Amino acid sequence: MQQVLVQPQEDTLQRRVRLAPRSRWPDVLVRLFVKACGGFVLLTTILLIGFLARTGLAGMGEVGIWSLLFGPRWKPESQLYGGLPLILGTFVSALGAAAMGATPAVLAAVWLTEFAPKPLRGFYRRLMEIAAAIPSVVYGWLALTHLVPVMGAFAHAIYGDDSNVGGEGLASSAVLLSVMIAPTVLLLSVDALSRVPYNLREASAALGASPWQTGFRVVMPYAWRGLLVAVFFGFARAAGETMAVQMVIGGARVIPANLFRPTTTISSQIVMDMQNARPGTPADDALFSMALILLIVSIAVVLVTRMLSRPVRA
Amino acid sequence: MLVRSELISLAFFLALGAALGCDKTPPPEGTAGTASTQAALAPVSDGPIRVSGSSALQPLVNAAKEKFEAQNKGASVEVSAGGSKKGLVDVASGAVQIGDSDIFAAPDQKNLVDHKVAVVGFAAMANKGPYNAKITSLGMDQIAKIFTGDIKNWKDVGGGSQPIVVINRAPASGTRTVFGNVVLGGDKFVESQTEDNSGALVAKLKQTQGAISYLALSFKDDDLLTLSIKIGPDTMDPTAETITQGKYPVWSYEHMYTKGEATGGAKRFLDFVLSPDFQTTTLPSVKGFIPITAMKVQRDKD
């Protein structure tokens, strides 16, 4: 409905701009500048990916792709470049976060769009926008001081007082990330659900469906692509998160025995190691290889998201 | 008209692209080039004197910075900590004028000039609790086995039953390198939790039951258990006396490296730190540091 109203207005607006006097010098300069800006951003991105690919591939050549993907031990100072602990750490925390954070977030979005009282909706949305804008270091600091001790006590309750477990590990990082991604996933889900045409709900109600049946059997299935995109986006954000995770993951470069033992992720290990990686050394190149792997994962997620969010024919 | 403006912008674009594209071909050389230009320029300018590296040495450098800035109007020293190896990398790349380190520079870093400014001792420090209340000293091999992960519980070294949580410093740390070399015979630490700063480590040790790590004596804290070392029949406390006499073995020089001979502000600051006045009056008052001149034993490698 909105589109039909807005479309012709845009058309007339464009026509008026085209009719305005043009090709004076200031005009040309401004246009040139704007285009240069556009090109510059594009070029920066291409060069960045190019550089990362070059150094990363060099690293893969030096230490071997097999070791980078499946080696069990990362210790560059002893020429050990096993990337498995880093990759596992990244995936387990991100998957855990997606499971624990995205599920409630999507359901909350359904509740918010279908059942919540009108005045509450706007307030809830603002609150989530604020939560999504909190810097990650704040989340990390809060988790370190409040979540990690609780998780430590929890771990000892499970494994016994005498076991070597603690608050730092995958469990803490997954819980922290789930809290961090929930607002974003919720906001994206609300957007997806709001795009469901209203007449579907009316038709469903006319057939005698209760609001719950409408919400879960009509609205959610119709918006599934958008909801999936929201979850994927949350996963990508969790996989790339650095600062907050580094504060609670512990930083041990081994595959942990359980969720309450310290380990590491790709991004936090890059932060730890870049300090003493001298440019041009295998340690430095291997680190770039891990960065490249992280980038490839992100690109894959973006591509899947794009495929899913292609408009469906109504 | 439309065509002309499009052409102009296209040409501009291609030029921009070509210019940047050329730059792209040798990126490592390019970055190295800018870094060395920076280094060449830095000592000449009278800007702040930038120092980075060892967090063990940081308390002493901060003390020196205060006195130095008070005595020299307009002088400013910027100190950041991030580990000895970072200090060495930073000074070699020209990012800072002075690189602090607990360890000697690598043999291939020949252009770095060493200034030994102090000596500092290191000790194993642990969380205090009822489980280790009776422990004050351990044998060298016991400490080594704790950090290699062979001893996993305080009860195996005479304490109560409590799992030992080893917390490591990051690989860039000089403290880790020195402690590893002297006590473990190399970097044989069990892989475990990692802190990249001494100050943060103290806080972590206090809050983690059963935790143990290794720190410079400048971070000695009454709320932490500082372990003495049993060597043969003797028990050596980590003190200035035992270190200067060569009886307590875990110590290292604190180095301040410059790239080439020190010049300008960096030279003035180093001269100040090495002056008899600073070495004999200020330095001993900073916890954990020992003046170079007091040492009765010497080393030329870690």
Whole-number pLDDT of residue A302: 86
Burial status of residue B232 (CB atoms within 10 A of its CB: 0-12, 13-18, 19 or more):
exposed
Average pLDDT over residues B131-145: 93
Average pLDDT over residues A15-30: 67
> Backbone phi, then psi, for B166, in 5-degree steps?
-80, 130
Whole-number pLDDT of residue B19: 47
Beta bridge partners of B118: B254
Q: Name the residue facing B1 among A23, A36, A251 (closest C-beta).
A: A23
* Residues contacting residue A182 through CB under 8 Å, at least 6 positions apart: A101, A102, A104, A105, A131, A234
* pLDDT(B25) > 50: no
* pLDDT(B284) > 50: yes
What percentage of chain A carries pLDDT values higher than 90?
67
CB contact under 8 A, A163 and B193: no
> Backbone phi, then psi, for B168, in 5-degree steps?
-100, 160
Q: Please give the residue that has the higher pLDDT: either B214 or B38.
A: B214
CB contact under 8 A, A164 and B152: yes
Average pLDDT over residues B126-130: 93
Q: Are A169 and A91 in contact (CB under 8 A)?
A: no
CB contact under 8 A, B165 and A22: no
Whole-number pLDDT of residue B2: 45
Tokens matching residue B242: 């035992």
* pLDDT(A206) > 80: yes
Q: Best mutation site among B2, B5, B103, B152 for testing chain A: the one with the most A CBs within 10 Å?
A: B5
> Backbone phi, then psi, for B292, in 5-degree steps?
-55, -40
Mean pLDDT of chain B: 83
Rg, chain A, Cα only: 24
CB contact under 8 A, B83 and A164: no
- CA A72/CA A80 separation, integer angstroms: 9
Whole-number pLDDT of residue A22: 56
Q: Are A260 and A166 in contact (CB under 8 A)?
A: yes
Neighbours of B234 (CB within 10 A): 11
Neighbours of B281 (CB within 10 A): 11
pLDDT band at A289 (very low <50, low <70, confident <90, very high): very high
Whole-number pLDDT of residue A13: 55
First to last CA, chain B: 73
pLDDT band at B43 (very low <50, low <70, confident <90, very high): very low
Whole-number pLDDT of residue B23: 40
Q: Which residues in A have their CB inside 8 Å of a CB on B? A: 22-23, 28, 31-32, 35-36, 39-40, 43, 47, 50-51, 54, 73, 75-78, 149, 162-164, 166, 168, 250-254, 262, 272-273, 275-276, 278-280
> Does the complex come out with an ipTM higher than 0.90?
no
CB contact under 8 A, B172 and A276: yes
Whole-number pLDDT of residue A308: 81
* pLDDT tens-digit readout, A94-136: 999 999 999 999 999 999 999 989 889 999 999 999 999 999 9
* pLDDT tens-digit readout, B30-40: 333 333 333 43
The shortest C-alpha distance from B235 to chain A (Å) reads 30
- CA A278/CA B89 separation, integer angstroms: 7
Whole-number pLDDT of residue A217: 92
